[in-house]
Amino acid sequence: MTGRVIYAGFEVQYPVGGNRLLTDHVALLVAAGVDAYRWSPTPGFRYSWFADDVPTLSGAELDLGAEDLLVVPELVVLPDRDPAPGGRKAIFVQGHFMTFLTCPDVDLYPGWSTPPALWTISRDGVDVLSRAIPHLPPPRLVPNPIDAGVFRPGVKVPSIAWMSRKRPSESALLKQILRNDPRSAGVELRDVRGLSHGEVARVLSDTSVFVALGAPEGEGFGLPVAEALASGCLVTGYGLGGGDELFEAPSAWPVANLRTVELADRALELVRLPDADRLRAAGRRWLVDRYNAEVTTKALLTAVEAARALPGEATRAIHPSAWEEELMRVIAPYAAPLAAAGSQS
């Protein structure tokens, strides 16, 4: 497979699952023999909150060859800001519900000189983007890889965990409902917030029940749910579009959005569910069979090959951070919830 695959990365030093996933893609492509890189403006930049040793490129601008492929996240797309005019590109959509936030009125999204490929991370994302952007080639599904070696069960203790970052108000409400219910006696309530990748894995390893609150705008996939299933947690909560497929696991129970009392009741029931160990093991097997490095790599190689079939020529690329101020003006009213929506672990 000729040419480089270059992911535009962003220099954010707090846990944002999207940045980790982008880095995972680079690592998987490199392992498969592809000349792949993460590109950031600052020389030597590395993420500090997870192991980060993938090949990198740096600088505000970068020369692309005719066979190179530039991959950019959906949130940096502006209709009059083509990051690589004439070059071959893919838009990596991790939150399909946010795709048009930065360009809501473009007739032929994204309005660039050459049509990009579309990649996304859930079945719901494929369905939504196929309807919303019918003039581009059908979006490619690249399932998220979950590291079952990092996220694995330990000795479970009676506990309920959730991430408050995405819904701080509902999180506070849920905690009060849980702590005022007599059934919570002896049950540890855990708000998993602001932890590193490894710290999240340690907490989930002995957590018995994980509650998926998700982002109010929707979920592109829901990495915390997948990681909880791999960790042998029983899961309940909100699928919110992209996460719905995870609730097909035998150890997951969906609850309708904003039914906080029902959510608390289900979580408390699951803490002492009979036959829980069998269901935990079944849920982990279900997850690992579907979301692993081999599955992701195969889908990613197919997506790269399809993107290479699109038009492309040598060009000078500009890192999308060049128009960060313009992007922030557009998304400022949504900045806090979008940070939560992107923070998947």
Mind listing the pLDDT tens digit for each residue in 155-212? 999 999 999 988 999 999 999 999 999 999 999 999 998 888 899 999 999 999 999 9
Percentage above 70 pLDDT, the chain: 96
- Segment 71-85, tens digit of pLDDT: 999 989 998 899 999
C-alpha angle 129/134/135, rounded to 5°? Answer: 130
Percentage above 90 pLDDT, the chain: 82
| CA-atom Rg of the chain in angstroms | 20
Residue 344 has pLDDT above 70, yes or no: no
Residue 336 has pLDDT above 90, yes or no: no
Residue 345, pLDDT score: 40
DSSP H helices in 14-151: 17-31, 123-132
Domains of the chain plus CATH, in order, are 4-145+292-342 (3.40.50), 157-290 (3.40.50.2000)
Average pLDDT, whole number, for the chain?
A: 93
Residue 327, pLDDT score: 86
Measured CA to CA, the distance from residue 327 to residue 341 in angstroms comes to 17
Beta-carbon neighbour count of residue 308 at 10 Å?
A: 18
Higher pLDDT, residue 20 or 25:
25
Residue 253 corresponds to which tokens in the numbers above? 């129970």
Tell me which residue of 82, 76, 132, 91 sits closest to 331, measured CA to CA.
76
Measured CA to CA, the distance from residue 286 to residue 280 in angstroms comes to 10
Residue 64 has pLDDT above 80, yes or no: yes
Q: Find the Cα–Cα–Cα–Cα dihedral 304, 307, 309, 312, rounded to 10°.
A: -120
Residue 2, pLDDT score: 84
Mean pLDDT within 77-98: 94
Measured CA to CA, the distance from residue 111 to residue 88 in angstroms comes to 14
SS3 of residue 265 by DSSP: helix
Confidence label for 340 from pLDDT (cuts 50, 70 and 90) = very low
One-letter amino acid of 2: T
Higher pLDDT, residue 17 or 56:
56
Mean pLDDT within 269-287: 97
Residue 74, pLDDT score: 94
Query: What sign results for the dihedral spanned by CA atoms 104, 107, 112, 114?
Result: positive
